Amino acid sequence: MRNCGFDVDFTPKDMQELAETAKLCRGDILKMTTLAGSGHPGGSMSSIDMYLTVYRYANITPENVKSPSRDRVFVSHGHTSPGVYSALARNGFFDIDQAVAEFRLAGSIYEGHIERMVNGVEWTTGNLGQGLSAACGAAMAGEIAGEEFSVFCFMGDGEQQKGQQAEARRFAAMHGLNNITAFIDYNKLQISGNIEDVMYQNIKDDYTADGWFVITVDGHDFEKLFTAIKYGQKIEQPVLILAETVMSKGVSFMENIHGYHGKPLTDEQLDKALAELGLENDIARYREMRKAFVFDPSHHELEIPEVKVAYDRNKEYGLDVKTDCRSAFGDAIYDIVKNSQEEGMTPVAVFDCDLASSVKTDKVEKEFPDNFVQAGIQEHHACVAGGSASVNGVLAFFADFGVFGVDEVYNQQRLNDINGASLKTVTTHIGIDVGEDGKTHQCIDYLGTLRNLFGFRVIIPADPNQTYKAVGFAAENPGNFLVGMGRSKLAVIADGDKPFFGKGYDFKYGQVDVLRDGDFAIATYGSMTARALKVAEILEKQGIKAAVLNCSCPLHPDMEAFEKYTDKPVFVYEDHNEFTGLAATLANKFADDGEPVRIVRFGVRGYAFSGTPEDIFKLLGLDPETVAESIKAELA
């Protein structure tokens, strides 16, 4: 049985102290928003009594805030940051004065939406509808890592409209995440007015239909809140506490006015409100503190957990092997999961979206079901849950097709990245190489999209050997990675009579592999590398010597490799949108130096067709024969 801070009695002293703190917090909320001239007092004041009740009893304190076994508190409606900051500060997590004075001040960590660098904040939120997924990810990670803790998740009512909520609900029910207690701040107001006027909602029935136990309670009555939580902790279902609340609760002239969702009080109104709360108006003091703020970038650093991972560093697929990179990924993930069963290794969670047999995680599913997490056709949820799991005690993988693991969840990946998560996304079926499924399934924008995310690293290996090593590298290095590959079987890239990326090959991020030297460069990666070698062969027969540069890290290639080839055009050959792929990376790099290098693109110029990759490449003029011909013409 997990540690449960609610296994006590609620006393009059509790009631008195909570009420007293709540009053102070309401003052903090009003002061910080007025001081900043922006922010969200309304929801902060309707949620604050719940925040205080949970922080008082849950097993999370300033002392254990880094402990793997602490309870987790997620706040999905991150715009209630004033409420969260005041609740955390009044529970000793940091200095309340600093939070009030610095709220929404450029360079401070007390940002407009809660961020993970603030002590006690588990997850950066703000884009609505994602917090419950993050809570599920932590709960799942705890289960896999063998840690017993409770997970609390606070949400707004308006955000229940987001579809991702439904995905998270089903996931929690499916996996029996009964240690989750979620709360909805049911103040019934959203920006445009009453939630039921804005959009049809039937919150209670939605949760019930999706397998949750729902308790309705007065969200401003500490004792009832406590009792509901305590009761819920014994229920063998995920529990929703639907807390009936009042927007801007506690200040008479603000209550139930939806305008206060995102509008602070004026100085005069603040004075009046603080008087009603019986609090001193000390905003002048905070104003002075605010002026004295000094920016310290180190406060914004996020800790990424170290992991311990083992895989076969001498793995080699021989030259006679013809397999797909997906299968090499399957081998790598299997080895990593298998080795993780040993003492001292980081436990692994492999998130799947109903594609295990295609993305080759099915062997893990079968042999290590505890490490395999079925998320259904619910990519938004899976991506966030995976991101959250990755900073909650497990090494997390998210395996999917390219369009689902990148395109469909672009914003979820962005928020994972902002969170400093360490999710290892592996997408099979990228590029035209996905073939017959057609344009809706052809992910030809993984570089163009992920180039926007400052922390992301992308690896597109050239063959099964490089795939295996790349997966190992991504697993053992902190941060968010995409390892991407196509669907087809690929020849093992050779270095004379042995594999190029076989025994003795260590993957280094950014390294450009010169697979053959020549008078000018063909830059390529992934499933096009083998084709580029074919181009070079064809050209060689005509006396033209092409170097083939395999750029398996196409967002961050080591540019030194290009230095000797810049007097001729650089030919870029890629199974990617040609405006946003490796060619764009190189154009950016050359422009930084003002290098007069012409880039000739052989990539995808429009939404393509449904057919075999070979046939499509031919139609697009991207088959090796046509490319060789074009290069010859360019050089003539």
Contact status, residue 421 vs residue 593, Cβ threshold 8 Å: no
Other residues' Cβ atoms within 10 Å of the Cβ of residue 595: 15
| Residue 114 Cβ vs its own copies, minimum distance, rounded to whole Å | 9
Report 175-194 residues binding its own copies (CB under 8 A): 190-192
Stretch that binds its own copies, among 24-32, 178-186, 355-363, 627-635 (CB under 8 A): 355-363
The stretch near its own copies (CB under 8 A) out of 4-12, 35-43, 272-280, 469-477 is 35-43
The answer for residues whose C-beta is within 8 angstroms of residue 263's C-beta and 6 or more apart is 41
Q: What gap in Å lies between CA 470 and CA 458, rounded to an integer? A: 10
- Largest distance between two CA atoms of the chain: 92
User: 3-class secondary structure for 438-501?
Assistant: CHHHCECCHHHHHCCCCCCEEECCCCHHHHHHHHHHHHHCCCCEEEECCCCEEECCEECCEECC
User: Segment 609-628, which members bind its own copies (CB under 8 A)?
Assistant: 609-612, 615-616, 618-619
H/E segment holding residue 8:
none
**What is the footprint of its own copies within residues 447-466 (CB under 8 A)?**
448-449, 451-452, 454
Instruction: Select 297 or 344, whichever has its Cβ closest to its own copies.
Output: 297
Per CB under 8 A, 257 contacts its own copies = no
Q: Which of residues 475-504 bind its own copies (CB under 8 A)?
A: none
Contact present, 483 and 525 (Cβ < 8 Å): no
For residues 574-603, which are near its own copies according to CB under 8 A? Answer: 577, 579-580, 583-584, 586-588, 590-599, 601
Please give the structure tokens belonging to residue 404: 């689902």
Nearer to its own copies, 36 or 528 (CB): 36
Helix (H, G, I), strand (E, B) or coil at 568: coil
CB of 440 to its own copies, least distance (A): 4
Residue 101 identity (one-letter amino acid): A
Among 90, 104, 429, 457, binds its own copies (CB under 8 A): 104
As beta bridge partners, residue 323 has: 490
Q: Which is nearer to its own copies, 115 or 185 (CB)?
A: 115
Residue with smaller CB distance to its own copies, 308 or 605: 605
Gap between the Cα atoms of 281 and 30, Å rounded: 10
Residue of the chain from 355, 373, 548, 631 that contacts its own copies (CB under 8 A): 355
Using DSSP bridges, classify how beta strands 322-324 and 489-491 pair: parallel, antiparallel or unpaired: antiparallel
Residues between 281 and 340 with contacts to its own copies, criterion CB under 8 A: 295
Least Cβ distance, residue 291 to its own copies (angstroms): 12
Q: How far is the CB of 327 from its own copies (least distance, A)?
A: 18
- Which residue among 3, 11, 16, 38 contacts its own copies (CB under 8 A)? 38
Tally of helices (H runs) and strands (E runs) in the chain = 23, 22
Number of residues that bind its own copies (CB under 8 A): 117
Rank residues 105 and 635 by Cβ distance to its own copies and give the closer one.
Answer: 105
From candidates 1, 106, 294, 633, binder to its own copies by CB under 8 A: 106
Shortest reach from residue 264's CB to its own copies, in Å: 11
> Exactly one of 607, 621, 625, 634 binds its own copies (CB under 8 A); which one?
607
Q: Quick check: 185 and 40 in contact, CB under 8 A?
A: no
| Token digits of residue 537 | 């062969």
By the rule CB under 8 A, 166 interacts with its own copies:
yes
Give residues 390-449 in contact with its own copies (rule: CB under 8 A): 403-404, 407-411, 414-415, 417-418, 435-441, 444-445, 448-449
CB count in 10 Å sphere of residue 514? 14
Q: Which residue has 């005041």 as its token pair?
A: 86
Q: Is 100 helix (H, G, I), strand (E, B) or coil?
A: helix
Footprint (CB under 8 A) of its own copies, residues 197-256? 198-202, 205-206, 208-211
